[in-house]
Chains A and B, each alone.
Chain A
Amino acid sequence: MLKEIAQGMAFTLRQMFRKPITLNYPEEQKPTFPRHRGRHMLHRYDNGLERCIGCELCAGACPVGCIYVLPAENDPEHPVSPGERYAARYEINLMRCIYCGYCAEACPTEAITLGPRYDLADYRREHTVVTKDELLESWPSFTTGGAKPSVLGAGADQRGHEKLESGVDPVKAWDAFEESHIHPDEATPGHGGLEVTPPTVKRTGSGEGESR
């Protein structure tokens, strides 16, 4: 019995000198895999135009109806997106979302993908409904900094990146994302000059019904 006790004590003592495997969440976060389905992101084309054309296919594909899109006509002088319409409002209720990725599958322009971020807890319920400002990558985009924008996030075109072994560090990615949000978005194309005043629609959760 004494031998076993000594073995056990020696083991726990050795454990003490090993590096803890716990991450100091949320300062440190586990890198996610490339196809991780975390918080959504709205992307831009390389010229800065928004990919989203306000087609509402994502909202239609969403099994829980957590996406609300308010489409608006593009001003030909100052287009926000390359298509006829763009999303004047784009909101996702993250409490309702089941992170299935159908929105990204349905998107014809690869405008929406599910990103690496998963620290979504908040102190206020209202903050869990994310708006377009929070979802849209800013300009110049952090995603175009090197990797192809579509690498980030599930549902995006990941051909040629199948062998990407190390994931994306969500902290670094979103630090960059949020830093780029410090500046107001006057400089970004699509927002200059175009005042979009969305109609005051009372939302009760599912955005789909009211927007029609």
Chain B
Amino acid sequence: MVGAIGFWGWVGIVVLKAVIILIFVATAAAYMSYAERKVSARIQLRHGPNRVGPLGLLQPLADVVKLFFKENTAPKGRERFLFLLAPSIAGAVAIFAFAAIPVNGPTTIGSFTLHWDLIHVNVGLLFILAMTSLGVYSIFLGGYAANSKYSLLGGLRSAAQLISYEMAVAFAIMGVIILSGSLDMEQIVTKQTGLWFIFLQPLAFFLYFIAGLAEGNRLPFDLPEAESELGAGYHTEYSSMKFAFYFLAEYINMVIICSIATTLFLGGWLPPFAFLSFIPGVIWYLVKISLLLFTMIWIRFTLPRFRYDRLMNFGWKVLLPLGLMNIVVTGVVIALRAA
């Protein structure tokens, strides 16, 4: 890992990557909120934010400033430590998970190989899943610590929902893991040269995307924060920067879900056709996740929310069996081809 560039060169690159990721994540989250408002506005025949800056492009900055200076309210009878801890977990875990996502193929400069992710582990996919699986603590503890019935109900729902749909996510991505024979995000992408896995695993892609919506608490699965029933769900009692962390985490989680979908199914940084490879991989990666993110917003403003029992039924009785079936079929096909 250290090799050709020496210890301090390695430290410098790691720090640089970390800073870039932090900036990218914060900007992406801020402008996801802008995109969400703009797209929703156009779907509903409105204009969306257009006051701050040209086309309202500075609106996220204004929102950040607003969140910084908002009054920091806290309910009586809260668990003080947990109330503070929960949003911190949300932000930290989301950023951790982003650290293992390769945004470009490895670049070799001399004897040094530059990986375009901060933490290059050979089980990158599992690393991301591990980090996102910790996100449930932030939601659940936030709901518990606030000492409010809405928060608690939101937290309970989210714990059940996230655990259930984590299974569906795991089953959906298993097909890709079988095909690529690796958990290394970079290798999974390079295996897709020529043919993206979405064409081999269309069912898995849809299962993953649906379960991803549920993992990210997005409509139609946003039961933990169903505003018509629960106020704002687990973050009802949060305000100011504590709320901002939840907000940030939600949008980063969206980016992560779309990044995983891009990496596993849409060929990551690879161009759709070989003759387009003069465009840098980062651009392709950004284009692909933008399309998926747009789809997420589009779905949010089209479909109504699931009822809670139907959500659970859907997760356990539809997504999970379909995922299992996908694994079996994939495995059989792979075995037959090998034989």
On whether A12 and B43 interact (CB within 8 A), knowing A5-B303, A24-B50, the answer reads yes
In the complex, whether B26 has a CB less than 8 A from a CB of chain A is no
Taken residue by residue from 38 to 54, chain B's Cβ proximity to chain A (1 for < 8 Å, 0 otherwise) reads as 01011111110010000
Q: Taking CB as reference atom, which chain B residue is nearest A18?
A: B45
Query: Which B282-316 residues have C-beta < 8 A from chain A?
Result: 298-299, 301-303
Q: Taking CB as reference atom, which chain B residue is nearest A4?
A: B303
In the complex, whether A120 has a CB less than 8 A from a CB of chain B is no
Q: Taking CB as reference atom, which chain A residue is nearest B50?
A: A24
Q: Which residues of A contact B39 (CB under 8 A)?
A: 16
Q: Which residues of A contact B41 (CB under 8 A)?
A: 20
* B290 shortest CB reach to chain A, Å: 15
In the complex, whether A21 has a CB less than 8 A from a CB of chain B is yes
Number of interface residues of B (CB under 8 A): 14
Taken residue by residue from 3 to 18, chain A's Cβ proximity to chain B (1 for < 8 Å, 0 otherwise) reads as 0010011011101101
In the complex, whether A22 has a CB less than 8 A from a CB of chain B is yes
CA–CA, A107 to B188, complex, Å? Answer: 83
Q: Taking CB as reference atom, which chain A residue is nearest B46?
A: A22
Q: Which residues of A contact B43 (CB under 8 A)?
A: 12, 15-16
In contact, A9 and B299 (Cβ under 8 angstroms): yes
Number of interface residues of A (CB under 8 A): 14
CA–CA, A24 to B49, complex, Å? Answer: 11
Q: Taking CB as reference atom, which chain B residue is nearest A10?
A: B302
CA–CA, A15 to B41, complex, Å? Answer: 10
* B49 shortest CB reach to chain A, Å: 12
In contact, A20 and B47 (Cβ under 8 angstroms): yes
Contact of A20 among B42, B299, B301, B302 (CB under 8 A): B42
* B52 shortest CB reach to chain A, Å: 14
Query: Which A1-41 residues have C-beta < 8 A from chain B?
Result: 5, 8-9, 11-13, 15-16, 18-22, 24
Known pairs A13-B298, A22-B47, A24-B50; list 16 more (Cβ under 8 Å).
A5-B303, A8-B302, A8-B303, A11-B302, A12-B43, A15-B42, A15-B44, A16-B42, A16-B43, A18-B45, A19-B45, A20-B41, A20-B45, A21-B45, A22-B45, A22-B46
Q: Which residues of B approach A to under 8 Å, CB–CB?
A: 39, 41-47, 50, 298-299, 301-303
Q: List 21 A-B contacts (CB under 8 A).
A: A5-B302, A8-B303, A9-B302, A11-B302, A12-B298, A12-B301, A13-B298, A15-B42, A16-B39, A16-B42, A16-B43, A19-B45, A20-B41, A20-B42, A20-B46, A20-B47, A21-B45, A21-B46, A22-B46, A22-B47, A24-B50
Q: Which residues of A approach B to under 8 Å, CB–CB?
A: 5, 8-9, 11-13, 15-16, 18-22, 24
